[in-house]
Amino acid sequence: MPSKTTEPLRALLARRSRELGRSLTAIAADAGLARTYLYELANGNKRDPSVRTLIKLAGALQVSPLLLFRYYAALEGSTAFGAFPPPTNRSHNPRDPNDIAAFNADVTTPDHAVVSPGETFRKIWEIQNLGTRPWRGRRLVRVDGEYAIARRLADGSLEAIQEAYLASLYREVEVPDTLPGQPVHVGVDFAAPKDTCTVASIWRMTNAEGVPCFGPKFFFHVVVTVMAQ
């Protein structure tokens, strides 16, 4: 069932439709969905969608899949959002075809690692410059809303919540200058909430002017389960 959020799904769809200048019919087509299905989903008259459906809809709306995931506590084919959508592993800068990035690996804290309530930890991603442009003045910027995906209740059910969040020491971090062909490690320090929950954080690369370097599908994420050990 849809969870309580600050903006109803119907309102989110209407807002993004205005911002993108596209009708809901066009957005449904972009997502590969029937128009009637999208309207029923927006009005709460459709059963919970699959993870795959929400990922396609997020792409059509040009938003992070997590923004849609928070409307649902238990999705078909996914337990507590265990099937977190992987980011695109390689992307070209839409303004510069010679600027290419690749995500190589999670160096620390793999997805759904278990951490203790209040624990501090460092997430490190390995990124590689596959283009011919040196990276100078690049940054990773936090772009999520700092919300928990779900909390497991005493009866074993899941509840989507937003009170808990995955705190980071900074909302943006520097990417060391990187020559073409070189890999680079970028790390962020986090502190887990004190509640038992699953939390996530999403980061994107920007240039020195603060403009995103790559498309919305090329992002870096951390997902951890907070649980007393």
171-189 in b/e burial notation, b at 16+ Cβ within 10 A? ebbebeebeeeeebebebe
Does residue 61 lie in a domain region?
A: yes
Beta bridge partner(s), residue 189: 122
Does residue 29 lie in a domain region?
A: yes
CA 197 to chain centroid, in Å, comes to: 17
| Closest listed residue to residue 142, CA positions, set 161, 165, 160 | 165
Domain co-membership, 150 together with 216: yes
Domain co-membership, 180 together with 123: yes
Q: Is the dihedral of CA 4, 117, 222, 188 positive or negative?
A: positive
User: What does each C-alpha distance from 152 to 46, 68, 87, 104, 148 come to in angstroms?
Assistant: 24, 19, 26, 32, 11
Predicted confidence at residue 187, as pLDDT, reads 96
Contact between residue 217 and residue 59 where contact means Cβ atoms under 8 Å apart: yes
Predicted confidence at residue 7, as pLDDT, reads 58
d(CA 97, CA 198) in angstroms, rounded, equals 37
Domain co-membership, 174 together with 62: no
Give the count of domains, the chain: 2
Neighbours of 126 (CB within 10 A): 14
Does residue 79 lie in a domain region?
A: no
What phi and psi values does residue 202 have, to the nearest 5 degrees? -120, 135
d(CA 205, CA 220) in angstroms, rounded, equals 9
Domain co-membership, 207 together with 153: yes
Find the DSSP H helices in the chain.
9-20, 24-30, 35-42, 51-61, 65-69
What phi and psi values does residue 226 have, to the nearest 5 degrees? -95, 120
Does residue 123 lie in a domain region?
A: yes
For residue 209, give the DSSP letter: T
d(CA 72, CA 150) in angstroms, rounded, equals 9
Which CATH number characterizes residue 162's domain?
Answer: 2.60.40.10
Predicted confidence at residue 6, as pLDDT, reads 43
Domain co-membership, 168 together with 204: yes
Does residue 178 lie in a domain region?
A: yes
Domain boundary among 20, 38, 69: 69
Domain that holds residue 63: 9-69
Predicted confidence at residue 59, as pLDDT, reads 79
3 state SS of 216: coil
Kindly report whether the global pTM for this prediction surpasses the value 0.85: no
Predicted confidence at residue 81, as pLDDT, reads 39
Domain co-membership, 197 together with 103: yes
Domain co-membership, 210 together with 156: yes
Does residue 76 lie in a domain region?
A: no
Task: List CB contacts of 13: < 8 A, sequence separation 6 or more.
Answer: 24, 27, 38, 42, 61
- DSSP string computed for 78-113: -STT-SPPPPPSEEEETTEEEEEEEEEEE-SS-TTE
Domain co-membership, 96 together with 43: no
Domain co-membership, 164 together with 95: yes
Predicted confidence at residue 111, as pLDDT, reads 77
d(CA 220, CA 174) in angstroms, rounded, equals 14
Does residue 104 lie in a domain region?
A: yes
Domain co-membership, 118 together with 174: yes
Domain boundary among 17, 38, 69: 69
Does residue 30 lie in a domain region?
A: yes
Domain co-membership, 44 together with 106: no
Domain co-membership, 117 together with 190: yes
pLDDT tens sequence for the chain (229 residues)? 444 444 578 888 888 889 889 999 999 999 888 888 888 888 777 665 766 677 778 778 887 666 676 665 433 333 333 344 445 688 999 999 999 999 998 999 987 788 999 999 999 999 999 999 999 999 999 987 433 445 555 666 555 544 456 888 899 999 999 999 999 999 999 999 887 777 778 888 999 999 999 987 788 888 888 887 6
